[in-house]
Amino acid sequence: MQMTLPVKLSYSEKLNRLDKQYDRLLQSSSRDRQSHLESLHDFVSKATQELIWLNEKEEEEVAFDWSDRNSNISKKRDYHADLMRELDDKEDVIKSVQDKADRLLLKNHPARLTIEAYRAAMQTQWSWILQLCACVEQHLKENAVYFEFFSDAKESMDYLKSLQDTIHRKYSCDRTSNLHRLDDLIQESMDEKEQLLQYRSTVAGLVGRAKSIVQLRPRNPDNPVRSSIPVKAICDYRQIEITIYKEDECVLASNSHRAKWKVINPAGNEAMVPSVCFTVPPPNKEAIDVATTEQLYQNVLSLWHHSHVNMRSVVAWHHLMADIRAIHNWNVASIKTMLPGEHQQVIHNLQIHFGEFVKDSKESEVFTVADCAQLERDVATCKEYYEELLRSAEREHQESVYNHYISEIRNFRMHLEAHEEHLIRQIRTPLERDDLDQSLLRITEQEKKMAELAKLKEDFDVMKDKCEVFIRQAVGSSSASTLSSELTALVHSMNQVHSMSFIYMDRLKTVSLVLKHSQSAEMLVKSYESKLYEEDAMNSDLKSIDTVVSTLKFQQWRTEIDEQQEVFHDMEDELQKARVISDRMFKAHNERDFDLDWHKEKADQLSERWQSVHSQI
């Protein structure tokens, strides 16, 4: 089609503009491409640098030996601390690279896919390294506990073995061991027992800790897995062929490579996974076996107990033998010279020491059953010897006491016989017939003698009580029988003399009253006899007959006589009492009153004279 001029001009103009625009476009396109290439190169370079760094850290963590061969946990802990500080610094760097990727994507950078791939790789690798760090922290904690446990267990084992050797060496003993040294060792052993009992908590702690110790031996390829071992994931892990989540319980199928294990996840998928992602949970057989320190502890405690029992049994044996020797060295004389309760205390100690020996020797390795039986016989023999000594000492003591009391009885008998002889002498010695003063003097003397006799009887009663106690204690012995007879005879004599003394005193008092009344009666008789005599004289004087008759007043005399008759009644009463007392003295002691007949005769004479006076009046 042919174009018109205006159209042609318009077309040419537009074509020129288009050419210009095209030229500008070509120039602009070349600059953008260059810019995109430069920005992409910058991003990829930085991303690659960070990925290389992250990959290097990953390789280090994945390749680290977490097995029981590597106990230098402190070095790894320091390295991990440095790594965490580096990660803190890297976080800003990586974030800046990711921000750069985000900006390129916002500008619709033509290399979007490459940028997104690098960004995703960085994000994945960053997350992965953080998970690895979490795994490392758990391994650090578990391995530290692991090595600390085995170190403590070894230290405990060494301590207990050393203590076992010390007990064997230090506390071995036999009968030749020094007693004082054994006493010191027993005290020391009690202190060691206290420490040993306090150590029980350490051993119990090891036993408890053993149950939570992880397994490190499967991490060493030198210890190939013979059967499936359960492992536990400590982080998420994803691959095309397997997915594992944190806390998943998986199965370790092969540990032929230290850094990567062949594991089977709960879904049954199998793949090679970094071993750092897993922990091999308890129970740890080696840890539990090491915890048999408890058995060693019990063995040491048992050894201590047997050593302690052995020492105690030897100490008890020494004390027992010392008691036995001491008792066999006794004799009757030494028993007597001991303080009150001293020898009983030794026998008491013997029984206590024998009881302690019997108790301790049951488990003692120093003494056999035959040794214990022989020692029991020795103790029995010792007791029999002691009992025989006591019997001999008692016999000698009884003999001594018997001789003392016999001597006392004879001494009392001598004094009593002296009293009796004096009393009989007094009884048989008549009083002056009409001497009232002598009678009163005799009463005073008898009162003194009776006081002496009472004091003698008081002392005798005290001695008699002691004798009766001795007789009861020594019942059945010949000395007790003899002493009882002597005492009975002396008691009888004492009672006889005492009775005679009282009767004699009654007699003296009664005779004194008889004398007193007879003298009064005699004075009365003589008075009236004198009056009658005077009357007879006046009868010769007839001149005075009337006067006499008038003044004599016979009736008045008779009245007076009747009134005085009581004096003679009293005299008769006292005389009758004297007769009764005299009869009692004769019946009880066969002693007569030689004065009584004279007093009776005199009383009869006075009565006759009184009757004569009465008749004359």
pLDDT in tens, 292-334: 788 889 999 999 999 999 999 899 899 899 989 988 898 888 8
Asked whether the predicted pLDDT for residue 23 surpasses 60, the reply is: no
Q: Is residue 178 part of a domain?
A: no
Is pLDDT larger for residue 616 or for residue 226?
226
Considering the domain architecture, whether residues 120 and 235 belong to the same structural domain is answered as no
* Amino acid at site 131: Q
What are 570's two structure tokens?
Answer: 């009293």
The answer on 222 and 142 residing in a single domain is no
497 shares its domain with 608: yes
Residue 346 lies in a domain: no
- What is the reported pLDDT for 4? 44
Q: Determine the Cα–Cα distance for residues 557 and 562; give it in Å rounded to an integer.
A: 9
- For residue 260, give every residue at least 6 positions away whose Cβ sits within 8 Å of its Cβ, in sequence order, or none: 62, 272, 273, 274, 275
CA-to-CA distance for 147 and 149, rounded, in angstroms? 5
Tell me: do 41 and 143 sit in the same domain.
Answer: yes
Amino acid identity of residue 123, one-letter, is Q
Q: Is residue 310 part of a domain?
A: no
Evaluate whether 424 touches 591 at the Cβ level (below 8 Å): yes
| pLDDT attached to residue 8 | 45
Q: What is the per-residue pLDDT for 450?
A: 86
What integer best gives the mean pLDDT of the chain?
83
pLDDT of residue 335: 78
Task: Give the CATH number for residue 225.
Answer: 2.30.30.40
Q: Are residues 229 and 144 in the same domain?
A: no
> CA angle, corner 323, sides to 317 and 328, nearest 5?
125
pLDDT(419) > 80? yes
Asked if residue 417 has pLDDT above 80, the reply is yes
- Name which of 417, 440, 328, 420 is nearest 381 in CA terms: 328
Which is more confident, 601 or 54? 54
pLDDT of the residue at 123: 93
Whole-angstrom distance, CA of residue 403 vs CA of residue 411: 12
Q: Over 90: is that where the pLDDT of 377 sits?
A: yes
| 379-398 per-position pLDDT tens digit | 999 999 988 888 888 788 77
Local structure of 177: helix, strand or coil: coil
pLDDT band at 483 (very low <50, low <70, confident <90, very high): confident
Same domain, residue pair 546 and 410: yes
Q: Which has the minimum average pLDDT: 127-131, 179-183, 447-451, 535-539?
A: 535-539
Could you report the per-residue pLDDT of 280-296, keeping only the tens digit for each? 999 999 898 876 788 88
Residue 338 lies in a domain: no
Residue 233 phi/psi, 5° resolution? -75, 135
7 band by pLDDT with thresholds 50, 70 and 90: very low
Residue 379 lies in a domain: no
**Domain harbouring 493, CATH code:** 1.20.58.60
592 and 486 in a common domain: yes
Q: Is residue 269 part of a domain?
A: yes
Domain end among 119, 148, 177: 148
User: 434 pLDDT band (50/70/90 cuts)?
Assistant: low
d(CA 579, CA 351): 74
Which domain covers residue 256, as residue numbers? Answer: 215-281
- Considering the domain architecture, whether residues 231 and 117 belong to the same structural domain is answered as no
Q: Among 124, 148, 172, where does a domain finish? A: 148
Rounded Cα distance, 349 and 354, in Å: 8
Sequence-ordered list of residues with C-beta below 8 angstroms from that of 507, at least 6 positions apart, any chain = 578, 581, 582, 585, 593
- Give the pLDDT confidence score for residue 11 in this predicted structure: 45
pTM greater than 0.75:
no
Whether 565 is covered by a domain: the verdict is: yes
Task: Compute the distance between CA of residue 570 and CA of residue 564 in angstroms, rounded to an integer.
Answer: 11
Rounded mean pLDDT, 490-498 = 87
Query: Which of 167-176, 346-355, 586-595 is the least confident region?
Result: 586-595
Contacts of 426 (CB under 8 A, 6+ apart): 442, 445, 446, 504
Dihedral-angle region of residue 590 (phi above 0 means left; psi in -120 to 50 means alpha; beta otherwise): left
pLDDT confidence of residue 495: 87
**250 pairs with which residues across the strands?**
231
The residue among 278 and 512 whose pLDDT is bigger is 278
- When divided into structural domains, the chain yields a total of 3
More confident call, 197 vs 549? 197
Q: Which residue has the higher pLDDT, 417 or 446?
A: 417
Side-chain-facing half-sphere of 50: CA atoms under 13 Å = 27
Whether 508 is in a domain gets the answer yes
Look at 20 and 471; give whichever has higher pLDDT: 471
Q: Which of 148, 163, 183 is the last residue of a domain?
A: 148
225 and 76 belong to one structural domain: no
The tens digit of pLDDT for each residue in 201-259 reads 888 888 889 999 999 999 999 999 888 899 999 999 999 889 999 999 999 999 999 99
244 and 109 part of one domain: no
| Same domain assignment for residues 143 and 227 | no
> How long a stretch of residues is the chain?
617
> What is the rounded distance in angstroms from the CA atom of residue 258 to the CA atom of residue 274?
9
**CB 447, CB 505: distance < 8 Å:** yes
Claim to verify: residue 108 and residue 252 sit in the same structural domain: no
Instruction: Enter the tokens of residue 50.
Output: 């960070």
Q: 191, 213, 203: which is closest to 155 by C-alpha?
A: 203
